[in-house]
Copies of this chain bind each other. A is one copy, B any other.
Amino acid sequence: MIGLDRLSLNQATVKHLSVPEVAALCGRHEIPAIGLWRDRVAETGLAGAAAAVRAAGLHVSSLCRGGFFTQAGPEGLAAARADNRAALEEAAELGTGTLVLVSGGLPPGQRDLGLARRMIADAIGSLVPEAQRLGVRLGIEALHPVFCADRCVISSLGEAVDLALLFPADAVGVVVDTYHVWWDARLADEIARAGRRIVSFQVCDWVLPLPRDTLLGRGHLGDGCIDFGPVTAAVTATGYDGDVEVEIFNEEVWDAPPDQTAATVRERFAAELGGPLGPTSG
């Protein structure tokens, strides 16, 4: 249902490579897009990273990440705002229309989820003019509820959609990441409700047993529990025709030769999302 012409490799999948190295890897494997991370972009330098991507004939599907809005005190909040404005400018410079947000967990010393959610809404609202000016949309990512306390209190796609709908569609959307939302009985309905607000579709699998660091319990498509057919169909039905990023945090994947990882990413993408190289999806 989604061909390999829409595959993007998020650079977190090949963690040990620099931006130019990932760009070259994508070029070798006919992967037309790349998802970038700000820390790695900074290592190469913004202009250099943008040039490396262009030289490899790629486009940037998204920049990770802004967010972490639930800081303590005026100084913390001002710093978060400044950082997110910088992230928007970097996204524009890299030529991507999507900045992925990991919105932040409970504020330090607080247990009030409502407060955290209001802080996030306020922060996103304050970024809207800058996002519109730069033509970059803020992608609210629902993180798996296991990360609610410490990383992101936006714990379901429905909640991300509710939040996004408070703001103009040209400034704020949602990210659908299978790893974070696959468990949700309301997922298909919420994807439909998200509609044109979907600004990024990220895929990886949920693998068991969970590793020591829960962040790293992700796998190649097909190695875990997620049924990619229905979620892909639901996203496609909204009219989403953008890039589909494979983003895998996993020690074994990181330790594998990058060319092997890229080949596996392509094979599994075709097999699970129904591209031309794989068997027909069920």
Contact = CB atoms under 8 A, between A and B. Distances in A.
A145 interface: yes
A146 interface: yes
A145 B112 contact: no
A149 B206 contact: yes
Given A156-B185, A185-B117, A214-B210, A106 B225 contact: yes
Contact of A111 (B144, B184, B186, B226): B226
* Of A111, A149, A183, A214, most B-chain CB atoms within 10 Å: A183
Q: Is the interface of A mostly helix, strand, loop or mixed?
A: loop
A47 interface: no
* Of A184, A185, A226, most B-chain CB atoms within 10 Å: A185
Nearest to A115: B227
Contacts of A206: 149
Nearest to A145: B183
Contact of A146 (B153, B210, B224): B210
Contacts of A153: 183
Contact of A183 (B155, B158, B210, B224): B155
Nearest to A160: B185
Given A146-B145, A206-B149, A155 B214 contact: no
A112 B227 contact: yes
B146 A214 contact: yes
A159 interface: yes
A5 to B, nearest CB: 26
A216 interface: no
A148 interface: yes
Contacts of A184: 145, 155-156
A208 B146 contact: no
A150 B146 CA distance: 15
Nearest to A206: B149
Interface string A97-139: 0000000001000011100010000000000000000000000
Query: Which 5 pairs across A and B sit closest by C-beta, in order of nearness?
Result: A148-B183, A111-B227, A145-B183, A149-B225, A159-B185
Interface of A: 106, 111-113, 117, 144-146, 148-150, 153, 155-156, 158-159, 162, 182-186, 206, 208, 210, 212, 214, 224-227
